Structure 1
C-alpha cells in the first residue's frame, strides 16, 4: 500500500510539472528528476519512516520546480541564469572552435548529432545550435534541405489527427460522438468495405480531414 501511494503521488506530481519533465530536460529539471527518485525511495526502503515524511518533501520539490518554471517564463534574465543560452557550434558550414572548447565538446560529438538529424556534411549546415536542453538543432542551407510537395508545385491531401473509432471489435462511442458520427454511419462505413460487423474490425480510425483507415481482423485457422 505504501508503494502504491508513493507511486501515485510521484505520477501525479510529474504530470503536474508538465510535459517537459517527461521529455527533454533542462539542467534544473534533470536535477529535480534525480532528487525525486531518491526521495521516493526513502519511505519504501524503511517502513518505520512515516509515509507523510516521504511525500511532503516530494511535493515540496515538485512545487519549487513549478515555481522556477513560472519565473523562467516571466523573466528572461532568470531563465538565462537557470537554463543558460543556446550556443552556436556550427556557423556557415564550419565548426566554431571557441564554442566547442567552451562546451567541452569534440567534433565527433557534433557529427553524431548531425547524423541523427540526417545531415552528412558539416558544409551543408548554415547553423548548428546546442539548445539549453543539450539537443543539437540543425538548420541546413536552403539548397540542401529536402524537397517538399510545395517546392514541386504539388498539393497533397491534408491529413489530420487520427482518432480510434473501433479497436479489436469494440466501438469507442465517446470518440464517435465527439466527431459528430453515430453507430449507423459506422456500420454503413464497415459494410461499404466488405465488413459485416464491428466485431470483424481490428482497427478503424478517422481523422478530422475525413481520412479513414480500416484494418480487418485476421482469421486464425
Structure 2
C-alpha cells in the first residue's frame, strides 16, 4: 500500500511527513468548521456546543497520531459534527429550550430557591462564589441570580444596591468614548486623533499640562471611555 493511500485511508505505518500533512490538514479543517459554526460556538458555548467542541478536539487528536485512522474518515466525521451542531443551533433558535437547557432562577428577591439549586446541581459554596464574582457578597442584596444555559450565573442586584448612575442623581451628560491609543511607544497615532475629532495641538496641550513637552518620551497615551487622558511615561 502506498504512503498516500495510508495517509488518506489509514494503515499500519505512516511516514513522518504523513503525520505532518495530517496535522496541517486537520488544523485548517478545525479552523474552517469553527468559522462555519459561528461566534456562538466560542462565545456562548451551550451544552451541545461544548460537546461538539470536545468531540472535534478528541477526533482530531486521535487521527493525527494513529496511522490506522484515515485522513478522509477524519474530515468526514468533523464535517458531520459541525453540520449537526449548526442544525442544533438553528433548532435552538427556532424552538428555545427544545435542544438546550433553560435558564434556572437560583435566587429570587434575596431568597435562595433550594429546589432549583438541587435541580441545577449547584452547591451553596459554588453559588456564593458566583455572587462574589459579580460583586454581590450577600444573597440579601440580590433581586435575581439566574443560571444561564451556558453555565454562567447572571446576577441582578436589588435597586438599593445597584451602583449610582449619572442620570440617577441628574449630573450633566459627558461624552463617552471607546478607548483609543493616541501615542504608542513615542509615536503619535494621528488616525485615531482624526477619528475623535482632535488634533496634535490638543494632544500637545494635554501633555504640557502633565509636564511633558515631547510625545516621544511617552510610552502610552490613551483616551479612556470616560474622556480621561491616561499617560504612561516611557521609562
- Same fold, judged at TM 0.5 (above): yes
1-structure distance, mates of 2:171, 2:196: 31
User: What SS class does the counterpart of residue 148 from structure 1 fall into?
Assistant: coil
2-structure distance, mates of 1:57, 1:19: 21
TM-score, length basis structure 2: 0.71
User: What SS class does the counterpart of residue 53 from structure 2 fall into?
Assistant: helix
- Structure 1: any 5+ residue segments left out of the alignment? none
Counterpart contact for 1:166–1:202, Cα < 8 Å: yes
1:146 aligns to 2:166 (yes or no):
no
Question: Cα deviation per residue 1:132-160 (whole Å; 9 max; x = unaligned)?
Answer: 11211222211121222222222353332
User: What SS class does the counterpart of residue 56 from structure 1 fall into?
Assistant: helix
Identify which range, 3-12 or 28-37, moves more after superposition.
3-12
2-structure distance, mates of 1:165, 1:55: 46
Aligned to 2:40: 20
Question: Cα deviation per residue 1:39-89 (whole Å; 9 max; x = unaligned)?
Answer: 11123112454433323322321232122212222x23xx31211211112
Q: Among residues 114, 126, 135, which one is paired with 1:118 in the alignment?
A: 135
Identify which range, 138-147 or 18-27, moves more after superposition.
18-27
- Give the number of aligned pairs: 210
Q: Among residues 154, 175, 182, which one is paired with 1:158 in the alignment?
A: 175
Q: Which has the larger radius of gyration?
A: 2
Evaluate the alpha carbon distance shift between residue 46 and residue 13 of structure 1 in structure 2; reply closer, same or farther with a 3 A threshold: same
Evaluate the alpha carbon distance shift between residue 102 and residue 5 of structure 1 in structure 2; reply closer, same or farther with a 3 A threshold: same
Identify which range, 22-31 or 44-53, moves more after superposition.
44-53
Counterpart contact for 1:159–1:211, Cα < 8 Å: no
TM-score, length basis structure 1: 0.75
